Every structure is written in C-alpha cells, then in structure tokens.
Structure 1
Amino acid sequence: MSTFTGTALITGASSGIGAVYADRLAKRGHDLVLVARDTARMETLAERLRAETGVAVEILAADLTADADTAKVEARLAQGDIALLINNAGMSLNGGILDNGPAEFARIITLNITAPTRLASAAGKTFVARGAGAIVNIASVLAFAPEMFDGIYSGTKAYVLNLSQSMAAQLADRGVYVQAVLPGATRTEIWERSGKDIDAFPAEMVMAVDDLVDAALVGFDRRETVTIPPLADEGQFTALTAARLAMAPNLSKRDVAPRYRETVAA
C-alpha cells in the first residue's frame, strides 16, 4: 500500500465511484473533503466514515456546473491543506449529438471538462508550491473508442486523459503525481441519470464500483500515469502508446506528405 498521506478532496462524492473512493481513502487514514450537490447523502456517508475510521470529514456542497460553486472548491484547494484531489464528478447525456441542444451540451462540457480542468489547475498550483501532491482524474475507456456510443461523452473523457498525461509529464519532477483512471462500464447511477439501462449490457462487461476503485488504487500505489482496470493485456496499451510516440516526430513538417501531392498523368 502507498505511504501517501494527507487530506483528500473528492468530487462527485455522494455516490458511485466518489463515495467508494471516500470509503477506501478514509480506511487508509486520510481526512476527507466531500464535494457534491446532495448534502444529505454526503452527511450520511460522512457520519459512517467518522464512526468507522475516526477520520475528519468535511462536507462542501457544490454544483460544479455553476461557476460560483466551482470557485468555492478552487478556493478550498488553495487553502493548502489538501494533498490529494480525486476529480470524479461527471455526467453522460440522454441520447447523442442529434438528440440534445445547446443547454445540454454546455452542461456536460462544463461538468466533464471545465470543472475538472479548473480544479486540477488549482490543485496543481498548490501542490507545486508545496513540492508534493497527487491528482486523480476519472476518464473512461471510451477515450480510446470514439466510434462507440456517444462521441460527446467519449470526447470529454479523451480530453481528461489528454490533460492528465500532459500534467503528469510536466509536473512529475515538481513533486506532483497525476493519474488518469479509465473505467469501462461500471455499475453506478450515471446510467440511470442519462436514461440508459446498465443491465442491457452483457454481465461480463460490467464492473462493480468497489472493484473498480480498488484496482484504481493499486495503480495509484504503483504510480501509474494511466490505469485501465478492465484491460487484461497491458501490452495493448503499451503498444498504442509506443505507436503514438513514434508518430509524434512526423506530425509537423515543412513539406506536404507525398501521399497528398497531386499526381500528374503522363
């Protein structure tokens, strides 16, 4: 187990992945700051964790689609006592790009992209100043599968993965560890909230949320940059990463690639 210590701030902490992170981190001895809209559910969770573990649990009610509420969480991170940010809050749409409109698009982009970016930035600044800290961003395996399901949701999660890998590369030598966790289909309330039936998936495709978080914490302890709990063959991700890095030097050139040059018939 990791020797990482300090207070953890968890967004989307009232249920699902966030609530299980709260449970597991409390059992590791971390004091907690729970962030979500549902104060009653957070209070119930906090009471149980205080009684079972003796850790201090603070409740911070916030709707991360609201600018003022996100600013409250940024201010809490800036106080300097947080050592670990779990950037978990997120949502999916009911339907896809043709079934929704500007309000729905703005909401998912604000919650899945803008809010985690702002919080990762606020945490990163505090952690760099202290020379220590960790940020866990919850993405999705759909970051690798834009052709499957709704491209808006998968696009937001591809962004989270991109942000995480960039921050990990930039901040590692400044004492800050950044992990992206990529769940597959996981049994949480996000499905019902977006009008989907998780039981419509084959049972072998759906992971229990407890198993997901426990695996993510193994990756955390190992200091992985990207943790993919359902992926059995790590070599597939290693090969994907190697191919991407090999392509990078060839992505910006003065000359147009020969395959795009117009050929003239003899």
Structure 2
Amino acid sequence: MAPTALITGATAGIGAQFARDRAAAGMDLILVARDAERLDAFCAQLAQEHGVRATPVPADLTRPEGLAAVEKVLTTEPIDLLVNNAGLGLNKSFLKSDVEDELHLLNLNIVAVMRLTHSALPKMVERGKGAIVNVSSVAGFAATMPGSTYPASKAWVTSFSEAVGMLVKHRGVRVMALCPGFTRTEFHQRAGIAAHQMPGFVWLQAPDVVRQGMRDLRKGKLVSVPSVRYKVAVGALKITPRALLHRIMPRGAKSMGRTVGDSQ
C-alpha cells in the first residue's frame, strides 16, 4: 500500500505543487480545497499522470463542518504526510477590517492548522512515523507589514510547529514550519497585492520552495526557510533592534485595499 499525503489548499500555488511533487514520488493523495469542480479535475489529472490514488475532499476549513470532514479523514485514514497549506491574508489595515474578517483569517491560518495537526498527530505517534508540514511565512519573523495581522498569524504557526516538533521528534514523527518569502502563486492576486511592483529578485518559484521544504523535512529541521536570500533576511530580522525595524518597515498600511485573498 502506497503512503498517503493529505494536503489542504491543494488546487493552487504551493499546495498544488506539493500535490504534484508527492504524486511524482508515488504517494497517494487526499486533497482538500473549497472549489469541488476544480478539485475533482486536479485529482483526475494527477491520478492519470502519475498512477496514484487522488481523492478529493471539498471543504471550507473556516467552517466547523469543513474542519470536521477533514478531521474525520485524519483520524480514520493512515496519513503519512499532512501539509497544512490553506491560508489567507487581508490586504487591509486593522483599522479598516471587520472583526468577522479577522476571525476568518484566524480560523484558517491558526485554528485549522491547530485542529488538523491535533487530529493527525496521535495516530502518527502511535505508528511511530509520519510528518506534518505547516506552511508559514518569513513574514512571521517580525511585524513586517504595518497594520496587517497576517504576520502575527504566521508567527503563531512557526512557533507552534517548533514546539510540537520538539515534542515528537524522538518518537519517529517530524513537524516542520515551511517559511517561504514571496512566491509566485495566485495568493497575491487574490489578496489584491500589486505583485508586479515587487522587484524580480524577491520572488521564489513554488517547485523550488517545495523541493527545499521536503529536503529540510528529511533532515529533521523544525523550520525551513527556502533560498539563501531569505535565510539572510530572516537572520537580519532576528538581530535588528525592534526600534530600528519600526522605522524602516515599509509604510504599506495607508495603501492597503479591501480585497481578501486566500489559498484554500
């Protein structure tokens, strides 16, 4: 029986690339996304191209019934790899966002990650094998976006993954936070972020992010920051005094729009 990977936010961006990568490695897939039609088509494509089983699970992870459906799979199926990729950003200042918008972000970026990890982990520990990748961001290493709560949510994901990873690393299970920088996906377009205004050198490609992430997972790292330039950036964020960071961070809050983007 082939090992199985369950991937959320699986029809676009980094999630879709994880699905392609793991299918090419011969893993069966359980893919989670909101768009049932798109999800069905992607599963059929991967099954045909790689000869693996690809099962669609349409679910909105911001809703209790969506989370419950995926939790049921995680507690009843032998999952070898869980990739918590679904997430969203609010391209608006905290002063302009509604509480409902902020709760929507927290439910997907934090609550869903916690609950799905909590569902998968006991079975993995019981079997003495398995891995969880929680897709975070370099944005979580500092308050890099004035007025945005997205970095705070990703800071939680990174810290949570490190803590749980330390707990289970001696029991045959790996948990890792994958922290890419700007990556060319649909995320920025959906969030209303003017990606074309960013210089080309800041951009990563999703295949490279996934390849580096899987390499670091095999090495047992608790945090993976793909690319040398972002490793340097994270190192700089860690040693730069807060007062200086607060002066040099981009003043992007004033120009934030009102579009909500996500990678479910």
TM-score past 0.5 threshold: yes
- Is residue 46 of structure 1 aligned with residue 38 of structure 2? no
Matching of residues 1-266 of structure 1 within 5 Å? 6-232=3-229
Q: In the aligned structure 2, how far is the partner of 1:226 from the partner of 1:240?
A: 15
8 Å CA contact 1:10–1:34 kept in 2: the answer is yes
Taking only aligned residues, the RMSD between alpha carbons, in angstroms, comes to 2.0
Question: How far, CA to CA, are the matches of 1:87 and 1:101 in structure 2?
Answer: 25
Amino acid at match of 1:171: V
Partner of residue 257, structure 2? none
Q: In the aligned structure 2, how far is the partner of 1:172 from the partner of 1:219?
A: 14
TM-score (norm 2): 0.85
CA distance in 2, matches of 1:239, 1:105: 29
Spell out, residue by residue over 1:44-84, the C-alpha distance to the aligned partner (whole angstroms, 9 max, x if none): 21122111110000000000000111011011000141111
SS in structure 1 opposite 2:89? coil
Contact 2:95 2:147 in 1 (8 A): no
Report the TM-score, using the length of structure 1 for normalisation. Answer: 0.84
> Secondary structure of the residue that 1:185 maps to in structure 2?
coil
Greater Cα radius of gyration, structure 1 or 2:
1
Check conservation: 2:28, 2:54, Cα contact below 8 A. yes
User: Residues 235 and 202 of structure 1: is their aligned pair in 2 closer, same or farther, counting only changes over 3 Å?
Assistant: closer
Q: CA deviation at 1:96?
A: 2.0
Which moved further from structure 2: 225-234 or 213-222? 225-234
* Distance across 2 between alignment mates of 1:171 and 1:238: 26
Amino acid at match of 2:202: M
Q: Which runs of 5+ in 2 are unaligned?
A: 240-264
Preserved contact between residue 80 and residue 126 of structure 1 (Cα < 8 Å): no
Following superposition, the deviation at residue 234 of structure 1 comes to: 5.5
Write out per-residue CA displacement over residues 217-243 of structure 1, whole angstroms, 9 at most, x where no aligned residue.
22122222111003348688689999x
Unaligned runs of 5+ in 1: 243-266
User: Is the deviation greater in 199-208 or in 24-33?
Assistant: 199-208
Amino acid at match of 2:209: L
User: Structure 1: how far apart are the matches of 2:151 and 2:97?
Assistant: 16
- C-alpha separation in 2, matches of 1:233 and 1:18: 20
